Every structure is written in C-alpha cells, then in structure tokens.
Amino acid sequence: MNRSTDPWLILTVALLVVFGMVMVYSASAVVALEHTGDEARYLTRQLIAAALGLVLCVGTAVTPIRILRRYRVALYSAVLLGLVLCFVPGIQHSAKGGSRWLGFGGFHVQPSEFAKVVVLFMMAHFLDKHRGLIHDHRVVLKSMLIPLPVLVLVLMQPDFGTTVIIGGLCIVMLFIAGIKPAHMGIALATSVAVGIPVMQAQAYRLRRLTSFLDPWATANDEGYHTIQSWVAMHSGGLWGQGLGASMAKLHFLPEPWTDYISAVIAEELGLVALASLITLYVILVWRGLAIARRARDPFSMYLAATLAIMVGLEAFLNLAVVMGIVPPKGLVLPFVSYGGSAMISHLWIVGILLSISAEAQDTPVQAGWPTAPTAATRVPGTA
C-alpha cells in the first residue's frame, strides 16, 4: 500500500498552530497577569491542548482509515454519553448560560466539538453502504436520523449555532454523495422551517439577529462586540499597530483570545496578516479536497471532503462574525483561537485527513472506484 504524507497540509496546519499560540499569548498576557498572576496561563493551557491534539493527530494519521471506521459506533456512543453527562450535576461545567462542558479539575472538555466529527463518520459510512440508492428518499430520511440524537442534545445545552453547523454539514455530505436536487431542496426547506421557530423560542437569539441588522441600536449590549471589533480592525490599517500593541484587548473586547481573536490580529498585524491567515485556510481546504479527490473509496472521499469544508466553514463564520457579515455566534477560529477541545478536535481532523491521504491511490476517484451498487444489483438483506 502506498502510504505517504501531505507536506502542504502539515506545513499549513503547523503555521496556523504556531501563529495561534503567538496571538493567544499576545491577546491574553496582560489580562491573565492582572487576574491570575500568570501571564502565560492561557498560552500554557493551549500548549497542553495542542500537545494532546498532536498525539491524537499522529496516532490517527498512522492508523488505516478502515480501522477508525470499524470503531465508529463506539465513538458515536461515547460522544452521546458525553453530551448527556453535560446535564449531570457535579460532572457538568456551565458558563455563560450554557451546559456544554464536562469539568475535570482545572480542565474542561466540550463533547460537541468531537460530536461534529463523529457524526460525519457515521454519515459517511451510511452513504457509502447505500451508494447507488442515494436517490431514494427513504435512504435520505434514514441518513438524517443519524445526527438527530446529537442535534437534540446539543440544542438542549443550549447551542443553536453548533446544532445548525452539524445539520448543515450532514446536508453538505448528502450533496457530495449525489442527493437529488429536489431532495436537497426539501432538506433545506425542512431545516429552515424547523430552525425558525427554534430560534424564536429564545429571546437572546432574536436579540443577536437584531444586533446583526443594526449593531449601533444595541451598542451597549449584543452589538458591543461587533462595533469594538470594527474599531480594532480599522485601527490596524494595512500593517497594524505592532505585535502586543492592541488597545481593544485591554479595554474593549472581553476575552479577546477566544472568538474575537481575529480583531486583535487585524489591529496588531494589519490587513496583510489577516489576508495571509485567510490564505492559509484556503490552502488547508484545497489540500483536504485534493485528498478527497484521490481517496481510495467513497467513505474516505465523503469524510475528507466534508471535514475540509467544515474547517473552512468554521474559519469563514468566525471571521464573518467579527466583520459583522453574519449574526453573532460563539465559534472559534480553527487552530488559532483559545480553546482546548477545539484545538484537539481540529488536530484530530488533520490526522484523519493524513490517514486518508496515506492510502491515496494514483488515479482519481472517478476512474478508480468500482461501479456503484444499485437497487437492482444489491443483494437482498445487505446494509
């Protein structure tokens, strides 16, 4: 078997992680020193998460993807258990009105970060097994039952944004698998029909939408972050104020080392650095899709393509929120923002892509895959 690596993917991720460490320290050092007496508090935690993620990444990269696929049900059961435990007193860790973490001493794990990946494992397996039957609406309906328990548990945390992302990624994978345009339209319409009343059920979600439409109307509340991030990005200009010279992180942006770290990047290093960061994400998505194109089987192709799109989508949404292009949503900037669970899960994704890449074939998938089974040729009783 041809086991190789993808040096462009490895280099891109390494640059993102190193850059993220620098910016987490720059954005958090002063505040961390003032409140905890340790200016490297958040950097140290992020380094520990990156080390754990690197171990998981390497372990996954050297493991054949068929073995990972074999344990998909165990992984799915584990994330479901983790999501349920988020509601158990004494185990859960709540913050900012949400019960999204499990508490272990001074560290916290967010199961939903790993649920996004595991759900895609399950979806890719199901769609591979039913390849040739994807035009059957019954198959599409069955596939949407896979993420349903996860979607319900994540929504109850409550985390509407992550719920939308998981559901959206499943629809993306159905599109990659060749779902009928009519069925795609029905799936999207159903998602909107369900999503609107769910969004309206909580007043704070409507306030976020209002603040997106007119941040100045809620300048001291929901619109505050957006306005301050605009000011910070404008202050940075083309080349920035200099590393460590941000004023927004000191006085205006709460916890700027998390979701709004890109505003600090723009203020300190300028538009050029922000454009370079976006370029790295474009390269990462390109390499992920290239790996998907050369995958040895449909399962690997579905999984690699959707995971690559997932990272690119998360990066886009984070930057779009900071720029005021989409409504506010707490979403990390992959490999850059502070967040241990996100760092570990994203490095796991890289390991999965490298595992698929290691088994890539020399011919494109269109020419290399066997003919897909159809309803007429499938053996009765097979899954």
- How far apart are the C-alpha atoms of 372 and 82, rounded to whole Å? 36
pLDDT band for position 203 (50/70/90)? low
Strands 98-104 and 107-109: antiparallel
Give the H/E segment covering residue 286: helix 261-293
pLDDT tens digit sequence for 120-143: 999 999 999 998 888 888 999 999
- Look at residue 64 in the predicted model and tell me its pLDDT: 93
Tokens for 204, please give them: 């704070």
pLDDT tens digit sequence for 59-89: 999 999 999 999 999 999 999 999 999 888 8
**What's at 107, amino acid-wise?**
F
- Asked if residues 35 and 49 have their Cβ atoms less than 8 Å apart, the reply is no
- How far apart are the C-alpha atoms of 160 and 140, rounded to whole Å? 23
pLDDT tens digit sequence for 290-322: 999 999 999 999 999 999 999 999 999 999 988
- Asked if residues 340 and 258 have their Cβ atoms less than 8 Å apart, the reply is no
Percentage of residues in the chain having pLDDT higher than 70:
88
- Look at residue 375 in the predicted model and tell me its pLDDT: 46
Q: The sheet that has 107-109: what strands, in order across it?
A: 92-95, 98-104, 107-109
Residue 382 predicted with pLDDT over 80: no
What is the reported pTM? 0.89
- Look at residue 68 in the predicted model and tell me its pLDDT: 92
Short-list 242, 239, 245, CA closest to 274: 239
Q: List Cβ neighbours of 82 (8 Å cut-off, separation of 6 or more).
A: 102, 109, 111, 114, 115
pLDDT band for position 325 (50/70/90)? confident
- How far apart are the C-alpha atoms of 6 and 103, rounded to whole Å? 36
Residue 370 predicted with pLDDT over 60: no
Query: Does residue 354 or residue 365 have the better pLDDT?
Result: 354
- How far apart are the C-alpha atoms of 249 and 267, rounded to whole Å? 10
Percentage of residues in the chain having pLDDT higher than 90:
56
- Look at residue 93 in the predicted model and tell me its pLDDT: 76
Assign 278 to helix, strand or coil: helix
- How far apart are the C-alpha atoms of 196 and 214, rounded to whole Å? 20
Residue 379 predicted with pLDDT over 80: no
Q: List Cβ neighbours of 218 (8 Å cut-off, separation of 6 or more).
A: 207, 210, 211, 224
Stretch 335-357: mean pLDDT: 96
- Look at residue 195 in the predicted model and tell me its pLDDT: 76
- Asked if residues 215 and 324 have their Cβ atoms less than 8 Å apart, the reply is yes
Assign 350 to helix, strand or coil: helix
Query: Does residue 232 or residue 17 have the better pLDDT?
Result: 17
Short-list 224, 247, 241, 225, CA closest to 27: 247
Give the H/E segment covering residue 191: helix 181-200
- Asked if residues 61 and 354 have their Cβ atoms less than 8 Å apart, the reply is yes
- Look at residue 133 in the predicted model and tell me its pLDDT: 87
Residue 371 predicted with pLDDT over 80: no
Least confident of 80-84, 92-96, 278-282: 92-96
Stretch 164-178: mean pLDDT: 93
- Asked if residues 122 and 146 have their Cβ atoms less than 8 Å apart, the reply is yes
**What's at 85, amino acid-wise?**
L
SS (H, E, C) 194-214: HHHHHHHCCHHHHHHHHHHHC
Least confident of 136-145, 208-217, 315-324, 362-371: 362-371
pLDDT tens digit sequence for 214-254: 777 777 777 788 888 888 888 889 999 999 888 888 778 88
- Look at residue 205 in the predicted model and tell me its pLDDT: 66
